[in-house]
């Protein structure tokens, strides 16, 4: 696994050393180096960052204050020249802290702590990941359990999706089609148009490049024709 990192320190030499250590470590990916918390804010808002190495003593905005406001989705390891700041760092759930000056051996121990944390989180998420039988979606003020086998097709409607289940009333949920597609089992579902995902097990009639569901005709657009044709070829007699 690769952990996306940024290094934040207002001291150029310390920042250069930290960046070098990150680049030297196989399981870390350096996304950016930042001379202030404000630079880091911009990077985080534009990039996927998992882990931050943050200097505590910085002008304008300290590392502690920075992670309190911007560290909700990212984990962090503090770097500091003062050991008394370590306890304060742990109060805001730091994975570890490094006392300056520190060598690569000390850095690697902290980096491995971070790796262990992310690997544990990944195992937990995989254990409770989506299954091949059903999913739960929020609709109106309820949470509904929907069996994959019952879904005919799903239509993307800007910020909503419409899930069509048999002859029942369609289910509207505040989701993007792309997000839902990532949660659906590939052995059941295929995207055939930028606005439509179909349940392959429910496809019964195809006519003139369209999938027919009762009175609804779903077009198979050009980018998806080859993969849909491959599905047909594999199941043709």
Q: What is the pLDDT of residues 45-76, one digit of tens each?
A: 888 999 999 999 888 888 888 888 775 678 99
* Number of helical (H) and strand (E) elements in the chain, helices listed first: 7, 15
Question: Is the CATH number of domain 3-127 3.40.50.2300?
Answer: yes
What's the mean per-residue pLDDT of the chain?
A: 88
Separation between Cα atoms, residue 56 and residue 84, nearest integer Å: 11
Question: Is the CATH number of domain 134-234 3.40.50.2000?
Answer: no
pLDDT of 193 above 90: yes
Q: Which two tokens stand for residue 27?
A: 């399981």
Confidence category of residue 101, pLDDT binned at 50, 70, 90: very high
Q: Residue 93 has what DSSP assignment? A: T
Indicate the domain borders of the chain: 3-127, 134-234
What is the pTM for the complete model shown?
Answer: 0.54
Separation between Cα atoms, residue 171 and residue 140, nearest integer Å: 9
Q: Which residues, in sequence order, are CB contacts of 62 under 8 Å at separation 6+?
A: 37, 56
Three-state DSSP at 71 gives coil
């Amino acid at each position: 696994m690769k952990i996306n990192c940024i290094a934040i320190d207002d001291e150029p030499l310390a920042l250069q050393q930290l960046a070098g250590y990150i680049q030297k470590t196989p399981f870390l990916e350096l996304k950016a180096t930042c001379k202030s918390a404000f630079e880091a804010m911009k990077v985080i808002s534009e990039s996927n960052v998992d882990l931050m190495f943050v200097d505590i003593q910085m002008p304008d905005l300290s590392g502690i204050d920075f992670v309190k406001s911007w560290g909700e989705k990212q984990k962090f390891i503090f770097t500091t020249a003062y050991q008394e700041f370590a306890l304060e760092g742990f109060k805001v759930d730091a994975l570890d802290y490094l006392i300056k000056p520190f060598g690569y051996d000390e850095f690697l121990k902290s980096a491995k702590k971070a790796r262990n944390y992310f690997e544990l989180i990944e195992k937990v998420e995989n254990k409770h990941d989506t299954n091949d039988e059903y999913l739960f979606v929020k609709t109106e003020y309820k949470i509904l359990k929907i069996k994959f086998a019952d879904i005919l097709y799903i239509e993307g409607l800007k910020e909503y999706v419409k899930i069509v289940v048999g002859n029942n009333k369609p289910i509207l949920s505040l989701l993007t089609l792309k997000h839902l597609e990532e949660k659906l089992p590939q052995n059941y579902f295929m995207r055939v148009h930028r606005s439509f995902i179909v349940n392959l097990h429910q496809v019964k009639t195809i006519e003139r490049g369209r999938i027919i569901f009762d009175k609804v005709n779903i077009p198979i657009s050009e980018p998806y024709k080859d993969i849909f044709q491959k599905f047909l070829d594999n199941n043709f007699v």
